A and B are shown apart, each in its own frame.
Chain A
Amino acid sequence: MGFPGPIRKFLERRYDTEVAEGFLDKQIHKRLPPHTGWLHVFGSLAMLLFISQTLTGIMLLIYYRPTPDEAYKSIQFITGSVHFGWLYRQVHAWGASLMILALVFHMIRTFFMGSYKKPRELTWVTGVLLFLVTITFGFTGYLLPWNQIAFWATTVGTESANKVPVIGAWLQYFLRGGDSVTGETLSRFFVVHVIILPWILAGLIGVHLFLMRACNLATMEDVDAEKKIPSEHGIPFFPVHVAKEGVVAVFLVAVLVTLSVVAPWEIGEPANALSTPAHIKPEWYFLPSYQLLKYFEGEYGAVIGIFACGVPFALLVFWPFLDRGKARHPKKRPIAVGLGLIGLLGALFLGYLGHVSETEQTYFGQRYHIDLLGWPNKIVEGEDAPSEAPH
C-alpha cells in the first residue's frame, strides 16, 4: 500500500515515510481476537453515524438561521425548497437516534463480554463519556428547529437542571442564558451543538480509538491471563473485519434513507412561549429518566429524582473500578450480568411506561387509559377516559 509514484517521491524526499507507512500497515493488518464478529461492529457503526451527522450537519448549516424569528422558517425552507434538503434533514434527525442506539448496543456488548476490565478501564470510561456527549448532542440539537415540541422539551429539560442541589438555579440561568427559554437559549444551544460538542466528541473518539488499539480488543480470557494473539489465529482487521463493517455501512445507508422516506420527522408548529402543547414527551433516549422523575413528588421529590436519574450514569462511568473480578465470560460473572440485565430491563420498562403514559392502549382486547405514572385504568364502554391520574 502507498501513494502513487510522483507523490510518493515528493513525500520521501521530505519525510520519513517508512515510519508512517509502517504504523499504518501495522494498524490495518492488526490481528483481532478469534471471537471478533458481527457483535463488534457497533462501535464502527456509531463512528460512521458521527461522520454522517457531521456531513449532514454542515449541509444543514448552509441554510439554517439560529434566531427565534428565522430558525423555524429556515427549517421549512430546507425541507420544502432546497434540493434534497428534506433528505439531509431527515438523515440528520434519524442519524441522531441511530447513533445513540448504536452506542447503546456497543456498550451492551462491551459490558456483557467483560471487555471493560483491566487493562481497558479507561477505554470504557471514554466510551461512556462519548455516550453522554452524544446524548447532549441530541438535547441541544432538539431545540434548533424552534418548534413547539422543541421549545417545551427544552423548557422542561432546563427546568430539571434547576432541581440540582445548591447550584441548580445558577445552572438553569446559565443554560438558558436568562430566566426562560428565549433566543439567548437558542444561540447557546446552537454554539454548543455545532462547535463545542463536535470537537469534544472528535477528541474523545481519538482517545477511545487510541486506547482501543493500544490494548487491542479484549479476548474472553480472564484478566491478567490474556495471551497475545498469534498471527495465524487472529482475525485480520483488514480485510475480514473491515468487510463486515462495509456491509454494515451499506445497510446503514439503506436504513437511513428508508426511515427518512417512510417515517419523516414532522416540523410541527412554531414555538409559542405562551402555550404548552398537551402531553409533550422527550426523545426515546430520555424516556426512562422522564418517567422515573414522575415518581418523586413534594418539596424534595425532584431533587431526589434528579439524583436517582444520575446514579445509573455515575455507576456506568465507574463500573470498571467497582467490578474488579478477574473473570470476563458472562457465565462466570452472575452478579455483574444480573445487575446489567436488571438495569437494562428497568430502563426499557421505564421507557415503555414513559411512551404509553397518558395514552389509551389495548391489551388482550381490553382498552386501558394509561395514567401519568404508567398505571393502566380499564375503560368501560360508554365512559370517557379519566382525564386525571387517580394517584
Chain B
Amino acid sequence: MNQTKKTTRRGFLDWLIAAFSAVAGLAMTIPGLMYLWPAAKGGAAEAVEISGAGQMKPGQSVTLQVGGKPVIVVRGRTGFLAFSASCTHLGCLVTWETQKKHFACPCHAAVFDANGGVVSGPPPAPLPPYVIKEIGEKVYVSAPA
C-alpha cells in the first residue's frame, strides 16, 4: 500500500529553520576557517646576498635564511653550492662537514653527499638545491624559480 507522506506547515517550517541555520552556520564557519589559514607572506623569490662570501675559503659553509627558509651555502673549489638546510627526513638543519665532504643531520644521523644526494640514513629525498648568482664581487642565493 503506497502512502504519500504529507508535509505539514509545521514540518515545512522546521525544515526551513534547519536549512537557514545550516546556511548561517556555514556562512560563519567559512570566514572563520579562512581566518585561521596562515596568511601568505612574500619573499619566496627573494635573492639574499651572502655577506662575507668573498672571505669564505673553499670548504667553508654558512647557513642563512632565504624567504624564511634555512639554506646552507658551501664554497667549493670552483664556486658556491647552495641547498635547503632542512633535512628531508624531519626538518633538522644539516651541517657541512669539511673533512668528510658531506652534509650531516644531527637528529637522525642522515648523511648527504656534496651534491645533496642521500648517502645514508632515513631521508626520503635529496636536499633541494638553491640558485647561486655571482654579480661582480657579490654572491646571491635564491630559491629556484
Chain A: residues with CB nearer than 8 A to chain B? Answer: 152, 155-156, 158-160, 173-174, 176-180, 182, 184, 273-280, 293-294, 296-302, 358, 371-372, 388-389
Contact of A155 among B63, B91, B120 (CB under 8 A): B91
Cα A301 to Cα B108 in complex, Å, equals 14
In the assembled complex, 12 residue pairs joining A and B whose CB atoms fall closer than 8 Å, in A order, are: A156-B90, A156-B92, A156-B107, A176-B38, A184-B38, A274-B64, A275-B63, A276-B107, A277-B106, A280-B107, A372-B121, A389-B109
Contact of B68 among A178, A293, A372 (CB under 8 A): A178
Cα A159 to Cα B69 in complex, Å, equals 14
Is B23 in contact with chain A by the CB < 8 A criterion? no
Within 8 A of A (CB), among B22-61: 36-38, 41
Cα A299 to Cα B108 in complex, Å, equals 16
Chain B: residues with CB nearer than 8 A to chain A? Answer: 36-38, 41, 63-65, 68-70, 85-86, 89-93, 105-109, 111, 120-122, 124-125
With both beta carbons as reference points, the residue of chain A lying nearest to B91 in the complex is identified as A159
With both beta carbons as reference points, the residue of chain B lying nearest to A156 in the complex is identified as B90
Contacts A156-B91, A280-B107, A372-B108 given; does A174 touch B122 at CB 8 Å: no
Contacts of A159 in B (CB 8 A): 89-91
Cα A273 to Cα B85 in complex, Å, equals 11
Cα A322 to Cα B85 in complex, Å, equals 46
Contacts of B91 in A (CB 8 A): 155-156, 158-159
Contact of A274 among B63, B90, B120, B125 (CB under 8 A): B63
Cα A174 to Cα B35 in complex, Å, equals 11
Cα A178 to Cα B67 in complex, Å, equals 11
Are B93 and A274 in contact (CB-based, < 8 A)? yes
Contacts A174-B38, A294-B122 given; does A179 touch B109 at CB 8 Å: no
Contacts of A174 in B (CB 8 A): 36-38
| B85: min CB distance to chain A, Å | 8
Cα A209 to Cα B38 in complex, Å, equals 37
Contacts of B70 in A (CB 8 A): 180, 273-274
| B17: min CB distance to chain A, Å | 27
Are A152 and B68 in contact (CB-based, < 8 A)? no
Cα A280 to Cα B106 in complex, Å, equals 8
Contacts of A158 in B (CB 8 A): 91
Contacts A276-B106, A296-B122, A299-B124 given; does A179 touch B69 at CB 8 Å: yes
Are A301 and B124 in contact (CB-based, < 8 A)? yes
Are A177 and B108 in contact (CB-based, < 8 A)? no
Cα A276 to Cα B16 in complex, Å, equals 58
